[in-house]
């Protein structure tokens, strides 16, 4: 490896950031000046909980998972109360890259280590269902969230081109999915115009949305279906007895079942679940408006795009012709220094022609990851269901998770149980050492990006 490349790697190492920034504030979980906030649709009107209530199912968290669960439970006739510590969409659901994708962050090989081949295929098919469910929810509830078709995974080097080809072959052979198209040359240029990439894998069925407006739309839909949603109502404790009780500052909710649909930025009500996930900071920058012609010259197909590096770049066009560019990652719990400048530098590696374009806003926050990057589903005491650890791949899977938990509450848990059969380990190091351990472990994968 060249000395200059090694120097850049060490400078970007999250462990170095952790030491240099130990006095900096933690990653902001919610940025009111983000592009998504400024272009948000009207919010549902939800008050805090005051007093004691009873219901069939209480849901903790008003992101996509929790709102999907509430909506699907109401469609089955259950009384549902949703408790949200901040506001609808304040977590990862409302500030993500907006890519609605089939598949999982971990890949098929990891699933194969935990499940029989038939279950791996079922999971992949359900991930396809998750994308279609997102499309259906948008259409059924008339959610204005700027849906666009198409996604491209792109290769930065020839080794990665072979990885994309192997991915398509594996999915065709093991999962029966032959819808992915390997792109080179002119075919790739019709989707993304950058010399940085040598190949791409195109998925016509995936797509991208304005994530906050999609989440707010689900909130409106859940309210219209009869769910009760209480914002600014953090859950302080969960008591499991004859019923399950959720204690808040202003009251208590008693329910036959509880669904935990929390992001890592919220208190985790079960320490056993906390041990299975880690918070990772991710960041997005929005350019000033480029105009329709210039924007489409960068991403002619208007698909979302993501490279397959470990520390990856991903981007898409907004409805008002901005480039929304995601990149950087922090495993240390600290915001990287000079974030806007470093995000701009990453963007210019992909699109040098944007050197005259200003960055309009930068925002970020935490997503939860698992050790194996597979989603973590399960139950506690038969009455508390949870879904967590989507590992940055949750825009589609979260809606499916909510639907599957609604099925499980109704006694139809077969599909939910496939996910719950995936084995998950605790992050090593306990509450004090697991973050430094993760930081050092991730250095190996950063090194691979340079090879």
Beta bridge partners of 299: none
Q: What is the pLDDT of residues 365-390, one digit of tens each?
A: 888 999 999 999 999 888 999 999 99
Percent of the chain with pLDDT over 70: 86
Q: What is the pLDDT of residues 142-165, one digit of tens each?
A: 999 999 999 999 999 999 999 999
Q: What is the pLDDT of residues 97-115, one digit of tens each?
A: 999 999 999 989 999 999 9
pLDDT score recorded for residue 346: 95
* Mean pLDDT on 297-321: 96
pLDDT score recorded for residue 335: 78
More confident residue, 83 or 442: 83
- Dist CA 441 CA 451 (whole Å): 17
pLDDT score recorded for residue 22: 28
pLDDT at 350 over 90: yes
pLDDT at 442 over 70: no
Q: What is the pLDDT of residues 18-70, one digit of tens each?
A: 322 222 333 343 455 799 999 999 999 999 999 999 999 999 999 999 999 99
Q: Which of 441, 309, 312, 325 is nearest to 372 (CA)?
A: 441
Contacts of 120 (CB under 8 A, 6+ apart): 108, 111, 112, 174, 175
Summary mean pLDDT of the chain = 88
Neighbours of 183 (CB within 10 A): 23
pLDDT score recorded for residue 207: 98
pLDDT score recorded for residue 145: 98
Neighbours of 267 (CB within 10 A): 13
The domain total for the chain is 1
Residue 154 tokens read as 């792109």
Neighbours of 198 (CB within 10 A): 17
pLDDT at 1 over 90: no
Q: What is the pLDDT of residues 195-244, one digit of tens each?
A: 999 999 999 999 999 999 999 999 999 999 999 999 999 999 999 998 99
Band of residue 430 on the pLDDT scale cut at 50, 70, 90: low
For the whole prediction, is pTM greater than 0.85? yes
More confident residue, 440 or 427: 427
- Cα dihedral 44, 396, 39, 337, rounded to 10, equals 120
Q: For strands 251-260 and 51-60, give the pairing.
A: parallel
Q: What is the pLDDT of residues 65-92, one digit of tens each?
A: 999 999 999 999 999 999 999 999 999 9
* Mean pLDDT on 401-408: 98
pLDDT score recorded for residue 332: 62
> Can you spell out the DSSP letters for 129-144?
HHHHHHHHHHHHTT--
Band of residue 436 on the pLDDT scale cut at 50, 70, 90: low
- DSSP 3-state of 160: helix
Owning domain of residue 156: 3-449
Query: Could you report how far apart the first and last alpha carbons of the chain are, in Å?
Result: 7
- Dist CA 446 CA 298 (whole Å): 27
**Strand locations in 146-231 (E):** 148-155, 180-183, 199-208, 228-230
pLDDT score recorded for residue 27: 38
pLDDT score recorded for residue 21: 29
* Mean pLDDT on 250-256: 98
More confident residue, 78 or 265: 78
Contacts of 184 (CB under 8 A, 6+ apart): 198, 199, 200
Q: Which of 345, 374, 344, 376 is nearest to 362 (CA)?
A: 344
- DSSP 3-state of 376: strand
Decide: 291 and 177 in contact? Cβ < 8 Å.
no
Percent of the chain with pLDDT over 90: 77
More confident residue, 29 or 304: 304
**What is the total residue count of the chain?**
451
Give the position of tokens 């974030």: 339
Q: Which residue intervals of 316-359 are DSSP H helices?
A: 339-350
Instruction: Read off the CATH number of the domain in which 98 is found.
Output: 3.50.50.60
């Amino acid at each position: 490896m060249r000395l200059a490349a090694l120097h850049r790697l060490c400078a970007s190492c999250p462990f170095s950031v952790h030491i240099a920034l130990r006095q900096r504030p933690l990653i902001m979980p919610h940025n009111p000046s983000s592009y998504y906030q400024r272009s948000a649709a009207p919010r549902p009107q939800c008050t805090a909980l005051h007093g004691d209530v009873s219901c069939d199912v209480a849901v903790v968290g008003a992101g996509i998972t929790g709102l999907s669960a509430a909506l699907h439970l109401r469609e089955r006739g259950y009384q549902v109360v949703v408790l949200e510590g901040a506001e609808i969409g304040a977590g990862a659901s409302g500030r993500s890259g907006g890519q609605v994708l089939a598949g999982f962050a971990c890949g098929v090989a990891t699933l194969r280590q935990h499940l029989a081949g038939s279950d791996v295929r079922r999971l992949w098919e359900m991930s396809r269902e998750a994308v279609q469910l997102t499309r259906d929810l948008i259409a059924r509830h008339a959610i204005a969230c700027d849906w666009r078709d198409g996604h491209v995974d792109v290769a930065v080097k020839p080794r990665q081109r072979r990885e994309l080809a192997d991915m398509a072959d594996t999915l065709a052979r093991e999962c029966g999915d032959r819808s992915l198209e390997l792109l080179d040359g002119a075919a790739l240029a019709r989707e993304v115009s950058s010399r940085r990439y040598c190949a791409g894998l195109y998925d016509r069925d995936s797509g991208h949305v304005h994530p906050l407006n999609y989440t707010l739309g689900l909130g409106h839909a859940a309210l219209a279906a009869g769910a009760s949603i209480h914002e600014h109502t953090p859950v302080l404790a969960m008591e499991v007895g004859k019923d399950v009780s959720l204690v808040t500052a202003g009251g208590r909710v008693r329910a036959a079942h509880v669904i935990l649909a929390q992001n890592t930025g919220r208190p985790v009500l079960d320490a056993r679940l906390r041990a299975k996930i880690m918070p990772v900071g991710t960041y997005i920058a929005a350019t000033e408006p480029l105009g329709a012609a210039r924007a489409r010259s960068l991403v002619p197909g208007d698909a979302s795009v993501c490279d397959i590096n470990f520390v990856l770049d991903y981007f898409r066009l907004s409805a008002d012709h901005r480039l929304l560019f995601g990149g950087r990652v922090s495993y240390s719990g600290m915001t990287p220094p000079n974030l806007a400048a470093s995000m701009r530098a990453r963007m210019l590696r992909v699109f040098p022609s944007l050197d005259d374009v200003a960055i309009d806003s930068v925002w970020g926050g935490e997503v939860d990851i698992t050790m194996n990057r597979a989603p973590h589903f399960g139950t506690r005491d038969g009455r508390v269901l949870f879904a967590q650890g989507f590992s940055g791949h949750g825009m589609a899977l979260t809606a499916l998770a909510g639907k599957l938990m609604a099925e499980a509450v109704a006694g139809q848990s077969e599909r939910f149980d496939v996910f719950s059969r995936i084995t998950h380990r605790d992050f090593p190091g306990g509450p004090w050492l697991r973050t430094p351990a993760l930081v050092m472990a991730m250095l190996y994968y950063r090194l691979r990006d340079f090879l």
